[in-house]
Amino acid sequence: MVFLVIFTATAVLQLFLPWWIIVPISFVTCGIIGKTGKISLWAPFFAILLLWTGVALLKSIPNQNVLASRIAEMLGVKIWELVLVLSALLGAFVAAISGYCGYHFRKAVLIKRSTTA
């Protein structure tokens, strides 16, 4: 469930908003419906990894990977696939940390409410 919500919301919102929209989406989704810390870490990771890899391939393959190859050269790497993998992993890592923080934020707020009540 968490995977699908993050995947769908990010796919739609990244059409209009910048890349870092993955942070609030992952944070809020895992803060509301994340069942465990493990799910809140891995679901956003794999959702963004799959989404960003798919989008990068859809945009890169039709133009024979020209832009990805030039970016790879600029970074001192000769393989455009490495640029694709590194960018997808970076986004996945950011989403995973955000989701994990959202889950623990909810846990902290719930614990605080139950001790003050």
Q: Which two tokens stand for residue 24?
A: 């609030």
Q: What is the pTM of this model?
A: 0.90
Total number of domains constituting the chain: 1
- The whole domain housing 27 covers 2-116
DSSP state of 94: H
**pLDDT score of 74:** 92
Mean pLDDT of the chain: 93
The proportion of the chain whose per-residue pLDDT surpasses 90, expressed as a percent, equals: 83
* Alpha carbon separation from 37 to 71, 94, 100 (Å, rounded): 36, 15, 6
Span 57-94, pLDDT tens digits:
999 999 998 988 999 999 998 899 999 999 999 999 99
Cα(44)–Cα(53) distance, rounded to whole angstroms?
A: 14
* Alpha carbon separation from 15 to 8, 9, 111, 113 (Å, rounded): 12, 10, 37, 38
Cα(110)–Cα(58) distance, rounded to whole angstroms?
A: 42
**Which residues 6+ apart lie within 8 Å of 92 measured at CB?**
44, 45, 46, 48, 49, 52
Span 32-49, pLDDT tens digits:
999 999 999 999 999 999
Cα(77)–Cα(83) distance, rounded to whole angstroms?
A: 8
